């Protein structure tokens, strides 16, 4: 249930896909999480990257209760749909490089943004993981259990990019990881 790294030589990454499964393209993050889950079960090794295991979370919303697990992760990748991007466009943002000092926008409700969670992590725990937001431009966020074909076609591409990102960065960041035993 939690991101416990049983083998100190392995690095645990978190992939958090979030959004509503009842609002059309908003389910993109969940669809990517589900697809990744099929590719590698919870805590299993990422293909072609034998030092890394990955924990996938699929959630309606993200909240502060995820922060403790983030703090010990090798890296975190949030996956979400966006109404701002061109429909079908994939975008990867390095959140760690952005200023997380003034995330006062935090939650007037129970829902938080990835940057708010990183900000909380930096305040509450000794370590903030490298983190990225993978966004995909959605075209329809109305009530529907299905994504538009354009976005459905991007799920596999997103999964591929995520695995590449983990493999590429796990070596670079491995020195900063403090595994929990």
Binding site for another protein (CB under 8 A): 1-2, 20, 59-61, 63-65, 67-68, 103-112, 116, 119-120, 123-124
Q: Rounded to the nearest whole angstrom, what is the least distance from the CB of residue 37 to another protein in the complex? A: 13
For another protein, give the closer residue by CB, 143 or 175. Answer: 143
Contact 13, 172 (CB under 8 A): no
Q: Rounded to the nearest whole angstrom, what is the least distance from the CB of residue 141 to another protein in the complex? A: 12
Could you tell me how many residues make up the chain?
181
For another protein, give the closer residue by CB, 19 or 166. Answer: 19
Q: Rounded to the nearest whole angstrom, what is the least distance from the CB of residue 132 to another protein in the complex? A: 21
For another protein, give the closer residue by CB, 9 or 109. Answer: 109
Q: Rounded to the nearest whole angstrom, what is the least distance from the CB of residue 27 to another protein in the complex? A: 14
φ and ψ of 107, to 5 deg: -25, 105
Give the pair of three-digit tokens for residue 121: 């992590």
Query: Residue 99: left if φ>0, alpha if ψ -120 to 50, beta else—which one?
Result: beta
Contact 87, 134 (CB under 8 A): no
């Amino acid at each position: 249930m939690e991101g416990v790294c049983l083998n100190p030589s392995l690095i645990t990454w978190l992939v958090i896909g979030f959004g509503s499964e009842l609002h059309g393209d908003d389910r993109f993050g969940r669809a990517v999480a589900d697809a990744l889950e099929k590719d590698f079960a919870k805590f299993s090794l990422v293909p072609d990257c034998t030092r890394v295991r990955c924990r996938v979370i699929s959630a309606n919303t993200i909240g502060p209760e995820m922060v403790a697990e983030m703090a010990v992760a090798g890296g975190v990748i949030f996956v979400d749909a966006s109404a701002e991007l061109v429909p079908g466009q994939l975008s990867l943002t390095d959140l760690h490089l952005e200023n997380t000092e003034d995330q006062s926008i935090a939650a007037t409700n129970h829902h938080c943004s990835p940057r708010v969670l990183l900000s909380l992590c930096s305040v509450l725990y000794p370590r903030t993981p490298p983190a990225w937001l993978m966004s995909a431009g959605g075209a329809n966020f109305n009530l529907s259990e299905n994504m538009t074909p354009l976005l459905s076609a991007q799920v596999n591409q997103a999964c591929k990019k995520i695995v590449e990102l983990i493999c590429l960065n796990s070596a670079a960041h491995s020195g900063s990881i403090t595994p929990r035993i």
